[in-house]
């Protein structure tokens, strides 16, 4: 589902354009009504509204009134659970900025891991080592909740966590690309960062792709 948003004042819009939403107990109390849902928080895995960022319709991380309330998240769910894709995908990678991290499931709570966490971490380290060797960027590896540590880093209803928990896809990663977390205006990647970032990222991704070929065709 594509949408057009022409507004030079909102360059970093991250939600969809769902009609004005006044749900959530924070919104009810404060009478807040705003457009859009953060589709990446709209999945049915540990979905809750304890974090005020997620239950405030005016937050850019508003997770929606209930899991899979949005057509975009339902489309991804139905596609991955469909007959064509079921048991045919071994690797899923979601690219984000920023932070220089390779994030593994699960991210709704600190020190909460999948049963095969060490398998995921092993391959992630091989990719991170290649990126550091060829490009110099040092990607940290782990769950966001563990690596960042703040309450704000805990993400409920996350797409990657739902995919790991509800599909047969074993290797699920979120790459938070450069720059580091301490860089100002880092969501707006500078033009001169684009090619170097892609070049070193590709070397890490190729490690994962090669490993998947060996995994699927031993």
Per-residue pLDDT reduced to its tens digit, 101-112 = 999 999 988 999
Overall number of domains in the chain: 2
Below-50 pLDDT ranges, the chain: 1, 27-28
* Pairwise CA distance, residues 179 & 80, whole Å: 31
* Domain final position from 47, 71, 86: 86
Supply the pLDDT for residue 17.
Answer: 87
Supply the pLDDT for residue 28.
Answer: 45
Token pair 């209803």 is at which residue? 157
Supply the pLDDT for residue 104.
Answer: 98
Are residues 54 and 120 located together in one domain of the fold? no
Are residues 69 and 172 located together in one domain of the fold? no
- Catalytic-labelled residue, pool 46, 100, 176, 200: 176
Closest CA to 56 of 80, 24, 79: 24
Are residues 189 and 98 located together in one domain of the fold? yes
Would you say residue 5 lies in a domain? no
> Quick check: is 176 catalytic?
yes
Could you tell me if residue 111 is left (phi over 0), alpha (psi between -120 and 50 degrees) or otherwise beta?
left
Supply the pLDDT for residue 160.
Answer: 97
Supply the pLDDT for residue 79.
Answer: 96
Report H helices in the chain. Answer: 25-30, 52-55, 71-81, 117-135, 144-148, 159-166, 191-216
pTM: 0.89
């Amino acid at each position: 589902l594509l949408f057009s948003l022409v507004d030079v004042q909102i360059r970093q819009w991250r939600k969809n354009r769902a009609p004005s939403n006044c749900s959530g107990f924070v919104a009810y109390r404060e009478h807040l009504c705003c457009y859009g849902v953060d589709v990446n928080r709209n999945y049915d895995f540990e979905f809750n509204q304890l974090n005020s960022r997620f239950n405030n319709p005016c937050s850019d991380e508003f997770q929606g009134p209930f899991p899979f309330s949005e057509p975009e998240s339902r489309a991804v769910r139905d596609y991955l659970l469909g007959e064509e894709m079921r048991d045919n995908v071994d690797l899923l990678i979601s690219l984000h900025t920023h932070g220089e991290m390779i994030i593994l499931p699960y991210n709704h709570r600190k020190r909460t891991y999948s049963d095969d966490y060490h398998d995921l971490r092993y391959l992630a380290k091989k990719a991170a080592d290649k990126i550091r060797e060829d490009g110099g960027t040092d990607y940290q590896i782990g769950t966001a909740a563990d690596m960042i540590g703040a309450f704000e880093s805990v993400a409920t209803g996350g797409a990657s966590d739902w995919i790991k928990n509800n599909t047969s896809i074993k290797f699920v990663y979120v790459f938070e690309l450069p720059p580091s977390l301490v860089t100002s205006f880092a969501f707006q990647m500078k033009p001169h960062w684009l090619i170097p970032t892609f070049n070193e990222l590709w070397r890490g991704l190729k490690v994962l792709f090669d490993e998947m070929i060996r995994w699927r065709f031993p």
